[in-house]
Amino acid sequence: MLEERYHHGDLRQALLAIAKQQLTSQGFETLSLRAISREAGVSHAAAYRHFPNKEALVAALACAGFEQLKAFVEAEVMQHSADPREQFFQCGIAYVQFALHNAPLFRVMFGVSGVDRLHYPATHAAAQASFGVLVGTIQRGQAAGLIGAGELRQLAFTAWAAVHGLATLALQDQITSQQGAIDSERLVRNSAKLLWNGLKYGQT
């Protein structure tokens, strides 16, 4: 039984967990340090012992989001370890699915909050790491001779941008399929096929 202690134990983690929960349930706009602290059963200023300000808390949230994204995409990709082309597709499909299923978190990760990620090295590193999954996938495609040469990171960046664009536009209801729901898999496959063809025929 948890008694009321003066010292919480691991308030930092608790705050992050509650923040993530409130983020997903109420969106970013109404996210408030005070509400989070309240929910944690702690005074409104306690958070400042663990985060210099709200922005830092949000940056930490984004950091965790990138780690989650990386893990998710990696897992999906691994299910198709035999076929580099399918791996490439799965990368994108997983990315968009993650965005749609974790919309508020995804928005926080990508600038809703106006956080300059370069000011938060951990968050930036996590973002780069998640990007690395895509780079690796393309690299395997090249190794297998299925993709023409080209500057690796540039290719990866192009692919990333394409998929990222799909995800963000989809999140905005900018795309509304006739059936109402968004078929993210079909969406990505269409886009990925184009890119894959382009890659195959070299980028001249």
Partner DNA sequence: CCTCTATGTTGACAGTGGTAACATTGCTGA
Partner DNA sequence: TCAGCAATGTTACCACTGTCAACATAGAGG
Q: Hey, which residues between 56 and 115 contact its own copies (CB under 8 A)? A: 107, 110-114
Per CB under 8 A, does 53 bind its own copies? no
Q: 119: buried, middle or exposed (CB in 10 Å: 19+, 13-18, 0-12)?
A: exposed
**Identified binder of its own copies from the candidate list 157, 181, 182, 183, rule CB under 8 A:** 157
Residues that bind DNA in the complex, under the rule CB under 7 A: 5-9, 11, 31-35, 42-46, 48-50, 52-55
| Contact range with its own copies by CB under 8 A, out of 25-33, 42-50, 73-81, 136-144 | 25-33
Please say whether the beta carbons of 102 and 62 come within 8 A: no
Please say whether the beta carbons of 160 and 134 come within 8 A: yes
**What is the nearest approach in angstroms of DNA to the Cβ of residue 26?**
10
Is the CB of 29 or the CB of 173 nearer to DNA? 29
Using only C-alpha atoms, the chain has a radius of gyration, in whole angstroms, of 20
Per CB under 8 A, does 181 bind its own copies? no
Q: 79: buried, middle or exposed (CB in 10 Å: 19+, 13-18, 0-12)?
A: exposed
Cα atoms in the Cβ-side hemisphere of radius 13 Å centred on 26: 11
Binding site for its own copies (CB under 8 A): 27-29, 107, 110-114, 116-118, 127, 154, 157-158, 160-166, 168-169, 171-175, 190-191, 193-199, 201, 203-204
